[in-house]
Amino acid sequence: MEYRLLEEKELAFSFVEAHFEDVAGATFSLQGKEQFISNLKGLEDLRFYGAFSPSLEGLLIYEEKTNQILFLYGEEESLFDLLKKDLQAARIGKVNALVTKQQFSLFEGLHFVLTEKEVQEENVQYRKLEYYIDQDALGKSVRVIVDHPYGSFHPHYPDVLLPCNYGYIEDNLWEERDLQNAYVYGVDEPIETFEGIVIGILYRKEDSHSWWIVADKMPDDKQDVIDTIGPLEQYYDTRIIWKP
């Protein structure tokens, strides 16, 4: 099986039409199916990942603007791995999916987590899921280059003093990746570099990037970590996943 980006849009749309019922089941009416495919064709920032043997056997459609998987059928795990690699290189820390009940177990098997029980769009019930791409970094040893030291003024909010050192990861765990932001926890003085482990990963609801939290060990009190970085995240709706 060959997995690669698909340039032939019409081939992708024909595949969607042929396998739409396999994905959506009886959720959509014929009119709903036609509307979905019409809307899909009207989007400009789509990325198509195909599985070939030698004909097209599987397809993943990803929309860059919304950072969302719009369609997935056939060779799902391998196609999702291909997308993950590209998102990691672009320093995108999570990806979203709106799925019908028909596909919920599939995405759950890919380790997506439920963020909202039900979302209704055009009389169709969806479940909103997220996958945290950076979760493989939890527990990894990293080196942080500090470019905003403890006690200095926040680069964007000049009335806020930084309650921790923060900067970026020196050696990315994934090749060809942009700089990864990182907070250093547990050092209450200005430093230039820090070596530790990734104890948590912070995500902002309206942002696809992530902030790694690095310390010399997993703290006993996670709430103290939250309180420490709280002044830097007070303007955002955030979620943290922790090292097991």
Convert the pLDDT of each residue in 195-235 to its tens digit.
999 999 999 887 888 899 999 999 999 999 999 999 888 88
pLDDT in tens, 32-51: 788 888 989 999 899 999 99
**Residues 80 and 60: beta-carbon distance below 8 Å:** yes
Q: Report which DSSP code applies to 150.
A: T
Which architecture, in CATH terms, is 2-134? 3-Layer(aba) Sandwich (3.40)
Where do the CATH 3.40.630.30 domains begin and end in the chain? 2-134
User: What is the DSSP pairing of strand 181-184 with strand 210-215?
Assistant: parallel
Which among 41, 56, 39, 42 is positioned nearest to 5, based on CA atoms? Answer: 56
Which residues on adjacent β-strands are paired with residue 4? 50
pLDDT of the residue at 226? 95
Which among 166, 176, 175, 241 is positioned nearest to 202, based on CA atoms? Answer: 241
pLDDT of the residue at 121? 66
Where do the CATH 3.90.80.10 domains begin and end in the chain? 138-242
pLDDT of the residue at 176? 46
How far the first Cα of the chain sits from its last, in Å, is 35
Binned at pLDDT 50, 70 and 90, residue 166 comes out as very high
**Residues 188 and 195: beta-carbon distance below 8 Å:** no
Q: What CA–CA distances, in Å, run from 42 to 35, 91, 183?
A: 11, 27, 40
**Residues 68 and 98: beta-carbon distance below 8 Å:** yes
Question: If one looks up domain 138-242 in CATH, what number appears?
Answer: 3.90.80.10
pLDDT of the residue at 26? 63
pLDDT of the residue at 1? 92
Dihedral angle sign, alpha carbons of residues 47, 55, 72, 90 = negative
pTM of this prediction exceeds 0.85 = no
